[in-house]
Amino acid sequence: MPQPQSRRRCIFSSYRRRLLLAILMPALFLAACADNSASMLTGRGPAAAQINTLWWIMFVVGAIVYLLVMGYLLLALFRRRGDRRGDDDEEEASEPDEGTGIVIWGGAVIPAIILAGIYGATVFTLSALKEPEIPEDLTIEVTGNQFWWDVNYPELGIRTANEIHIPVGQPVAVKLTSEDVIHSFWVPELHGKLDLIPGQVTEFWLEASEPDTYLGECAEFCGVQHAKMQFLVIAQDDEEFLQWVEQQQQPAPEPTDPMIQQGQQIFLGSSCVYCHTVEGTNATGELGPDLTHLASRSTLAAGTIPNNRGNLGGWIVAPQSIKPGSLMPPTQLTGPDLQALLDYLETLE
Ligand SMILES: [Cu+2]
């Protein structure tokens, strides 16, 4: 009978096309991973390395199971077709219990063994992540705010924002909490995620094996600007880290230049002081990031824009067009006043 034959061929060729599509589709998604600047697959600290190993175990086991199941499925599909094409008089030879073994082994016993193994590996990883190999001797308190990070080093008397400096090769304790809603602290290259919960303190630790700048982000949807709630973890060797500590421990310098003094007056006479702190002045607001060492940071508004004079001016005048929904209102200033204010802010190193 020619008709079903040709219909069959048609199905086969479109099936082949679909198979090709099915293979190519994931490749499209994977293309997004090409820039691995903050990929958890490039674990660069002991905690991330543990998570990485677990990820590969799960990936390889998952891939093997997938390939086996798909192979078995294809086998079944082609076998059926062959059977049907063959002599019609031969009855379907399958006995009612022929597949029972496969259902019991493939559907229950083997999955149970694999899942138990993965569960074991997960529990092992979780307990290995609980504490670093050597105890931490530095604590960092991070408080989540819509949409920025307050960073406090209680033992060192340092307060900063959106930028966490750590000594390389040493674990530091991280204590997390939130001022408003739930956020999540995630530095993919260094550790897993941990929630920041209002009224509660969650704890874990960070350690970077190499000096570098690691991107961190909020991993729990927290409002309109959730996507622009990033931070940097900067791992430095001891000398550089101590230098940074010393610099951050200084109060803001008292200006002597008349232009900068004028800028300071504009700052202290504006609404800025209700929301921002500059150590050593009357500005003690806490609704926004501490600005005492603003000029030493590399980004503004939680990783949204690079910290330079143009962006700083734009941010002060129109924060809502840079980060719509952020909790800083625009400030109207004349050109000369803005320039003087910028001169002052640039001295806050
Ligand atoms: Cu957030």
197 CA to centre of ligand 1 in angstroms: 11
Output the CA 145–ligand 1 centroid distance in Å: 7
How close is the Cα of 2 to the center of ligand 1, in Å? 64
**In this structure, are 168 and 189 located in the same domain?**
yes
**Has residue 168 been placed in a domain?**
yes
User: Quick check: is 288 in a domain?
Assistant: yes
* Residue 124 counted as domain residue: yes
The answer to whether position 21 is within a domain reads no
Task: Tell whether 277 is covered by a domain.
Answer: yes
The answer on pLDDT for 260 being more than 50 is yes
Give yes or no for residue 334 having a pLDDT over 50. Answer: yes
pLDDT tens per residue, range 293-325:
999 999 999 999 999 999 999 999 999 999 999
Number of domains in the chain: 3
**147 and 241 fall within a common domain:** yes
Does residue 333 sit within a domain? Answer: yes
How far is ligand 1, taken at its centre, from the CA of residue 226, in Å? 5
Question: Is residue 29 reached through a cis peptide bond, with omega within 30 degrees of 0 on the bond before it?
Answer: no
Q: Residue 180 Cα, ligand 1 centroid: separation in angstroms? A: 10
Assigned domain for 15 exists: no
Q: How many CB atoms lie within 10 A of CB 112?
A: 10
Structure tokens at 239: 């000398």
Distance 164 CA to ligand 1 centre (A): 16
- At 246 the pLDDT is 96
Whether residues 81 and 149 share a domain: the answer is no
Whether the per-residue pLDDT at 6 is higher than 50: the answer is no
The answer to whether position 46 is within a domain reads yes
State the distance from the centre of ligand 1 to the C-alpha of 277, rounded, in angstroms: 22
Q: Which among 249, 276, 298 is the end of a domain?
A: 249
Cα gap 292→280, rounded to integer Å: 8
Could you tell me if 160 and 240 lie in one domain? yes
* 160 and 195 inside one domain: yes
Question: Where a domain ends, among 249, 277, 309?
Answer: 249
Residues 211 and 284 in one domain: no
Q: CATH number, domain at 265? A: 2.60.40.420
Measured distance CA(259)–CA(239) in Å, rounded: 35
The more confidently predicted of residues 106 and 202 is 202
Least confident range of 102-111, 166-175, 328-337: 102-111
Residue range 143-171: mean pLDDT, rounded: 96
Do both 211 and 277 map to the same domain? no
Residues flanking ion ligand 1, Cβ below 5 Å: 183, 218, 222, 229
Are residue 234 and residue 265 in the same domain, yes or no?
A: no
Q: Indicate whether 241 and 202 sit together in one domain.
A: yes
Res. 35 pLDDT band, cuts 50 70 90: low
pLDDT band at 82 (very low <50, low <70, confident <90, very high): low
- C-alpha 184 to ligand 1 mean position (Å): 6
Confidence check: pLDDT of 65 > 90? yes
143 and 126 housed in the same domain: no
Out of 216, 249, 282, pick the residue that ends a domain.
249
The CA 185 to ligand 1 mean position distance, Å, reads 8
Structural tokens at position 60: 């390889």
Ligand 1 centroid to residue 303 C-alpha, Å: 13
Gap from CA of 340 to ligand 1 centroid (Å): 33
Contact between 315 and 322 under an 8 Å Cβ cutoff? The reply is yes
**Ligand 1 centroid, distance to 309 Cα (angstroms):** 26
Task: State the residue range of the domain holding 58.
Answer: 37-87+100-130
Q: Report which of 199, 161, 108 is spatially closest to residue 301, judged by C-alpha positions.
A: 161
Ligand 1 centroid – CA 233 distance (Å): 16
Q: How far is the CA of 222 from the centre of ligand 1 (A)?
A: 5
- On whether both 71 and 154 belong to a single domain, the answer is no
User: What is the distance in A from the centroid of ligand 1 to the CA of 3?
Assistant: 62
**292 and 318 fall within a common domain:** yes
Residues whose CB falls within 8 Å of the CB of residue 55, separated by 6 or more in sequence, listed in order: 40, 41
| 72 Cα: distance to centroid of ligand 1 (angstroms) | 45
- Distance from the CA of 223 to the center of ligand 1, in angstroms? 7
- The pLDDT, as a whole number, for residue 220 is 96
